Structure 1
Amino acid sequence: VTDNETEALILEGSLIKKNKPKYNIDLKDDKSYPFIAVTVGEKFPRVFLTRNRNIKGAKYFGPYTDAGAVRKTLEYLRKIFQIRDCKKVRPGKSKNMPCLNYHIKLCPAPCTGNVSQEEYGRNIDFTMLFLKGKDRTIIDRLKAKMEQYSKNREFEKAAELKNKIEDINKLHKDQKIFFTAESTWDFISTARDADDAVISLFTYRSGVLAVVNNFIINNTRYFKDEEILSGFIENYYSNIND
């Protein structure tokens, strides 16, 4: 229940599994749910959709229930922050010209040595902040850098940052804001049939609906609603930091 697909994918989702539960809390067929992976162990990290949770040196955001929305979000991130999605890169070792993604400003072409590891790393930092719902932090940092460029009369670079800020602000305005900018809330609803229950967790961060996760709870026939909810809350929040 979001105003746009990207809104539902901004923050890392949490998949919680309880050890030896009296009823099983699980996402139905969770192996099919996609994640966004950031290969932070690489010099020039990639950001991509995956269902593989065993990629060495990767940080994961998700799971998400809509692979199509994940792909659209990744397109948005590449447009704003210019991050690579190719499988291999050898900085400065490319024998060819940069690929099309460089020419349409979706990648800074680290394969040609066109961007430093430090500069590219800032793009990755911004990407992960975005996925955590911390767009205001990104805007503050970009504004500070933009002002620095302006003072140094590097107006073209300042204009590029201004465009990025406008794109991020546009996304933020498109989202439905219910609370103050610093508000952090979780809302839980439940539905059930004779044997099973579904719990929906609506996660708000910085006043924005960041993600909705649905949990299937099996074998709940002999449990009251309050028992199901209290068991879920106890086990969910004992396993997360946010």
Structure 2
Amino acid sequence: MTAPKPSSPNSDHSQRQHDPWAAPPQHAGPQHGGGAGGGPGDGGGKPPSLAEALPVRQEARDAVLVTLAVAVLGVVFGLLWLWLAPRVPLISDGDAVYLKHPEGEEAMGADGTFVLLGLGLGALAGTAVFWLRRQGGVGLVVGLAAGGLVAALIGWKLGVWLGPTSDLAAHAKDVGEGKTFDAPLKLEAKGALLAFPFAALAVHLAFTAAFGKRDPEPPLPPAPPPAW
């Protein structure tokens, strides 16, 4: 009687290779590219860190605060426009309303006054924002542009609302025939609304270029050794 021969690893491997019902071999060691942990090949990006999110939140907060602060100037804008804009005199003959001075330039003067006030208040806003926040930033620029436009819109609507009524027929009837009364305040050139934000951004950019903080210049590379 002969003793059974001990099986070798090679014989086991050959049996598994020819046996279709054999279990797959188990490989030791970590598996790369799979699993819930997310290996190098899983394709998932890391969420932004707190240090990366803070500058974005700061810029957004600056934009909102500057927008609100500059928009408040729209109230001053509207009151000044109502006070300084030239009046357009009208007169009624009982049937229709006419310009008292057909060749007058009062109507154009209202637009010119609006532009000058927008440039002045915009320059004031740009100067104030720079001196309060000299480090600059995208949020300040966005806030100046948005706040300047909102302030111009508020000044326009407020001046028209507080000015003479736009119901010319009722107004002429109230003052009587042959009496002079003021025309409603109008802004004919809507492009004048851009004067405020343009001046604010231009002045802020000028101050930043002249007095803003600058990044330190990189050190010069060492001089090469002399060739003998």
Category of TM-score, reference length = shorter chain? under 0.3
Q: Higher helix share goes to which structure?
A: 2
For normalisation by structure 1, the TM-score amounts to 0.23
Larger relative contact order (CA 8 Å, sep ≥ 6): 2
Decide which structure has greater strand share.
1
Q: TM-score, normalised by structure 2?
A: 0.24
